[in-house]
Structure 1
Amino acid sequence: MNQAAHDVTPPGDEIVVKPRDVRRIATAAFVGTALEWYDYFLFGTAAALVFNRLFFTELDPTAAVLASLATFGVGFAARPIGAFFFGVLGDRVGRRPTLILTIVLIGVATGVIGVLPTYADIGIMAPVLLVVLRLLQGLAVGGEWGGATTIAIEHAPVKQRARYAALVQVGSPVGTLMSSGAIALVLLFPPAEFDAWAWRLPFLAAFPLLGIALWIRLKVEESPIFEDLVRLDKRAKVPALQVFTKAWGRLIVAVAAAFLGVGGFYVMNTFVVSYAANTLGIDRQIAVNATLIAAVAQIVVILLCGRLAERVGPGRVTFWGGLATAAAAAPLFWLIDTGSPLAITLAVTAGISLLTITYAVTGALLTELFPPELRYSGVSLGYNIAGALSGFLPFIATWMISLSEDAVSWPAVVILAIVALITAAGGFFGERLRVKDKELVHSA
């Protein structure tokens, strides 16, 4: 892509957005993303702790865990489809209406899980309906994150985009805190009550949270860059398809750059929770609490790395973060295998903090790989293809460990290291492919 492909507003016709408006729009994007990840992560934690017992009860324990994690992974398979569909809407109809649609879809799908009958109630239809709702979650997430990042950075000054993209990324650890915190609270109930009804409460909470997020998001204005695309008639006819035909090299780089932030997180979060509880026999509360502490650390890392990316470039930050995570993979799982609650907490916190170095700048990097007319589609597809490729990593790691009589964690070490190195390569090439928009939006 040459620079001219990124010019939308003619010289002398710049758009002025006040700093408080930029912050308000970025905050609205963050709130919606936090709800999105609350819904999505909640399913992952429940898949590791409860769905195996309530929805796959006819299987032996190991098979039930695998089936539960496979259901979790199905949502990732749906994400590229959602990215394609909502990417077309976002680049053709508008960022704002598409984001309203995605947040409603994921909020409703999550809330309905809270009233879903179990296997004991309706037999095989229970896991079938669970899979359908997970697919709807995946479709919605496929369009949500890319759109939220796009609308946030398109309101921001070019030189400050990384900090606002990072603010959207804070939605991930906040979503983790909300979902893990909700699970941690209901785990305080006796096991019989937790299995009977208490596990449903965090899912039912999605309904009032959706109302709050929707109220905030309805106040967001359309992206000024998208309005320029409409005014100048520069919208692509089928933008998601053009990403594959005209920007496929950039798409590959985007997938690689996003891989660790998505896949590595689920190795260190969903897989570790399941591994600690079901393989090491550790109290599941310990692993869940570790993810809570890690989420707090994530917020700090995201904000710091967002500012760092403005100085050295998001591609370089991605490269360094990928190498650091790959080097730490073996020591992290050595700590987890000790079975010590302190060591597990330290490993989960350190591991998630390291991979968050890359996740913090994913939005900033991916948005600068695609021109405005393909941006919603390109960012969504890059991020969610990475999600589809990595969504089954907890399942693969669990399956590989089940093949070993010693139940050692080396498969997870190898998986995490490979994913990290792929992302390091994505950051290396992504930094060299960055093409900034013309300064369209600046502070007044």
Structure 2
Amino acid sequence: MASSSPATGLGPSVPRVVDERVTKKVALAALVGTALEWYDFFLFTTAAALVFNAQYFVSADPFVAAMSSFATLAVGFVARPIGGFIFGALGDKVGRKKILMITIVGIGVVTGLIGLLPNYMTIGVAAPIILVALRILQGLAVGGEWSGAVIIAVENAPVAKRARYAALPQIGSPIGTILSSGGFFGMLYLVGQTNFDAWGWRIPFIAAIPLLAVSMWIRSRLSESPEFEALMESGETEHAPIRGVLTKSWRQILVGGCSALLGIGGFYLITSFVVFYGTKVLKMPYETLLLGSLLAAVFEIFVLIWAGRMGEKYGASKVILWGGIASAAVAVPVFLAIDTANPVLVILAMIVGVCTLSIPYAVSGTALTSLFATKVRYTGVAITSNSAGVISGFVPLIATALVAASGNSFWPGAIILLVVSVLTALSGIFLPALSIEEEGMKH
């Protein structure tokens, strides 16, 4: 029987010598997969704000149509924990690589089908029903994707550099945003508003199919986690990972979920909700809001790289704490700037809002993987991250409802961002006591 490893907290020992060429290849494959994941997911998010309310949820009241559209967005997040349970448990039983191949196929195929789905005017009530069903399937696949990608990157990395490599899959988020917002922005520019609303929005969804082929080829070259292989060889894999995590690690789930809340929920608030608020309430052009999302994502890449290095140097919990504080500090100024409807100020506000909330997001993979032993890590991270995702999925819906109730005021958005930022900052205080590994993998 293998001995317990100080590197993983609980579980068999793994080789201490790590080939960083393999580490970089695995991290790249994880990054490509998460980029496709977020591209597909953000396409739906942006489309929910721009076109789904008119294509699938027909109503004379734009707020009712928008809330129906955002409710469909939220359904995908409700499905994510179920996918987390299913794929997380399988990932702890049969391996990280096999599950990551399944989830990436599920996400890409469903996204392509959404692009081909007839609208309400063509097939009636069947259109929104099918859209919801596809969104559920997408949510199930996403529920196992991000957690598996982060875990396989972390478990293939040197312990001292795990924060650095755990930040790489996070870059898939801004890349997905750039591709999705850029796709919509490009189609608007090429075909015009009328054609975009009629059919142009479908092209970025259909483009997910060739992107899937590239992702599958890259991901097929992944190396399985050496920590999981050691578990398999020693026969120490967990037979009931879900039960073990829920009964023994509920504190980790609670605190870890709060640590991930800002990076997910705050992001959807600054992108999806702001796109709706800007176009419907402030009467700004689509292009301006999409450009804001696009530029914010470009700046986010550099923030994620920098914050990942800070996590390596100072520890993930400190980065989460101070990132949450920074986001709380700019919450009201960001929405004050957005409410001016000045294009320059709105774009700057979106950039500042996304960059500050991305500081804790950069190290959330490091923080979550350090909370769970290797044999239940996939299950634990999937349940935790997707629990935060459920709450996050309702953020645009809640913000839209509160804005309507407040007479189109921007204050609900600012207050929600402030509350979420404070919750994430507080989690940074409690994370070190719950981690089974050296906190944040710092030197």
Superposed pair shares fold, TM > 0.5: yes
Counterpart position of 2:426: 425
* Equivalent residue number for residue 21 of structure 2: 20
Conserved? CA contact 1:371–1:437, under 8 Å: no
Which amino acid in structure 2 is aligned with residue 119 of structure 1?
Y
Offset at residue 17 of structure 1 (A): 3.2
Cα 1:3–1:14 shift into 2, 3 Å = closer
Question: Contact 2:92–2:375 (CA<8 Å) still a contact in 1?
Answer: yes
Give 1:58 deviation, angstroms: 3.9
Map of 1:207 onto structure 2: 209
Structure 2: distance between partners of 1:423 and 1:176: 22
Who is 2:394 aligned against? 392
Q: What is the rounded CA distance, in whole Å, between the counterparts of 1:3 and 1:425 in structure 2? A: 27
1:16: Cα distance to partner?
Answer: 3.7
Q: Give the number of aligned pairs.
A: 435
1:62, CA displacement in angstroms?
A: 1.6
Aligned partner of 2:273 in structure 1 is 271
CA contact (8 A) 2:331 2:414 kept: yes
Pairwise CA distance, 1:14: 2.2
Partner of 1:46: 47
1:26 touches 1:167 (CA, 8 Å); kept in 2? Answer: yes
Structure 2 counterpart of 1:351:
353
Residue of structure 2 aligned with 1:249, choices 234, 248, 251: 251
Aligned pairs (5 A) from 1:3-402: 6-10=9-13, 14=15, 16-188=17-189, 189-402=191-404
- The aligned amino acid for 1:330 is V
Q: Distance in 2 between matches of 1:44 and 1:243?
A: 31
User: For residue 147 of structure 1, what is the amino acid of its counterpart?
Assistant: G
Cα offsets for 1:139-176 (capped at 9, x unmatched)? 11110000000000000001000010001100000000
Could you tell me how far 1:432 is from its partner in structure 2? 2.9
Q: Displacement, 1:9?
A: 3.7
TM-score relative to the length of structure 2: 0.96
Tell me how far 1:7 sits from its aligned partner: 4.4
Percent sequence identity over matched residues? 48
Distance 2:235 2:307 in 1: 36
Q: Give the Cα–Cα distance (whole angstroms) in 2 for the partners of residues 152 and 23 of structure 1.
A: 8
CA distance in 2, matches of 1:4, 1:53: 52
Q: In 1, Cα distance between the equivalents of 2:432 and 2:319?
A: 9
Shift of 1:240: 2.2
Counterpart secondary structure, 1:235: coil
Report the Cα offset of residue 192 of structure 1.
Answer: 2.2
Which amino acid in structure 2 is aligned with residue 396 of structure 1? I
Q: CA RMSD in A?
A: 1.6
Change (3 A) 1:281 1:185: same
Deviation at 1:371, TM superposition (A): 0.6
Q: Deviation per CA, 1:389-416, whole angstroms, max 9, x where unpaired? A: 11111111111111123x1111111111
SS in structure 2 at match of 1:282: coil
Distance in structure 1 (CA, Å) of the matches to 2:252 and 2:437: 14
Q: CA deviation at 1:187?
A: 1.1
Q: Distance in 1 between matches of 2:437 and 2:102?
A: 29
Query: Residues of 1 paired with 2:416 and 2:125: CA distance?
Result: 33
Amino acid at match of 1:357: I
Deviation at 1:428, TM superposition (A): 1.2
With over 3 angstroms needed to count, the CA separation of the structure-2 counterparts of 1:314 and 1:47, relative to structure 1, is same
Structure 1, gaps ≥5 residues long: 439-444
What corresponds to 1:441 in structure 2? none
C-alpha separation between the residues in 2 aligned to 1:173 and 1:399? Answer: 27
The answer for unaligned runs of 5 or more in structure 2 is none
Cα drift, residue 433 of structure 1: 2.3
8 Å Cα contact 2:97/2:222 also seen in 1: yes
What SS does structure 2 have at the residue aligned with 1:6?
coil
Q: TM-score, normalised by structure 1?
A: 0.95
- Corresponding residue SS for 2:135: helix
1:4-24 deviations in Å (ceiling 9; x for gaps)? 9724344xx625431111100
8 Å Cα contact 1:158/1:437 also seen in 2:
no
Q: State the partner residue of 1:442.
A: none
8 Å Cα contact 2:77/2:139 also seen in 1: yes
**Which one-letter code corresponds to 1:65 in the other structure?**
A
Compare 141-150 and 232-241 and name the one that shifted more. Answer: 232-241
Kindly state the Cα deviation for residue 437 of structure 1 after the two structures are TM-superposed: 7.4
Distance 2:18 2:316 in 1: 24
Give the deviation of 1:425 after TM superposition: 1.1
- Give CA deviations for 1:224-271 in whole Å, capped at 9, x if unaligned: 100111111111112122111011111111101101010000001100
Letter in 2 for 1:431: P
Instruction: For residue 324 of structure 1, report the CA deviation from its aligned partner.
Output: 1.1
